[in-house]
Amino acid sequence: MSRFFGEVRQAGYVVHDIHKEMKHWSEVLGIGPWYYADRVPVKNFRYKGEPSPIEVSVALANSGPLQIELIQQRNDAPSMYKAFLDAGRTGLQHLAYWTENFDADVARLREQGLKVGMSGEVGERGRYVYYETETHPGTVIELSEVAGPKGKLFKLIREASVGWDGKDAVRPFPDLATL
């Protein structure tokens, strides 16, 4: 438990082949089912303060209370994911914390000196920021707003993982507008 962020809720892995990784995680590690979006509808994405036209595929599954995120960037737009890969790395890139008080938490963390490296939105009240906190691979911190449909999606994914029998290992993301 972090006294600044609360519980770690997600471990985010940047990968080259998301389908290969979903298969590995589900068949070898028994984690699933995976909720997959070929192109996540990211809005207002910014990298180092500048707009960037990022395109990413994302897969989400839970292992107990911890959500696992697999991310494959599909274009060469500037991002912290691309910088991670360009540095020759793959695997764990960030730890995410969730909040329903996004504005207050972002303001508090800004006062603590944390600097935003990239940010965007996925669905209504689904903003996120990645802080430039990397001191060695895998220590980027993400703060993710879960007050809207994204929070409902995360709950659905967690519930699907409980007692998962290994069938239907990859499922489509539901439309966030319907949650």
Q: In what order do the strands lie in the sheet with 34-37?
A: 50-51, 42-47, 116-122, 127-131, 140-145, 91-99, 10-14, 66-73, 56-63, 34-37, 170-172
Q: pLDDT grade, residue 104 (50/70/90)? A: very high
**Position 137 confidence tier, pLDDT thresholds 50, 70, 90:** low
**29-38, 53-62, 87-96: segment of lowest average pLDDT:** 87-96
As a whole number, the mean pLDDT across the chain is 94
What pLDDT, on the 0 to 100 scale, is given for residue 135? 61
Tens-place pLDDT, residues 59-80: 999 999 999 999 999 999 999 9
Instruction: Quickly state the pLDDT bin for 139 (edges 50, 70, 90).
Output: confident
Give the pLDDT score at 29.
97
Average pLDDT over residues 12-27: 98
Residue 1 pLDDT > 80: no
| Structural Rg of the chain based on CA atoms | 15
The model's pTM? 0.95
pLDDT above 80 for 20: yes
pLDDT beyond 80 at 133:
no
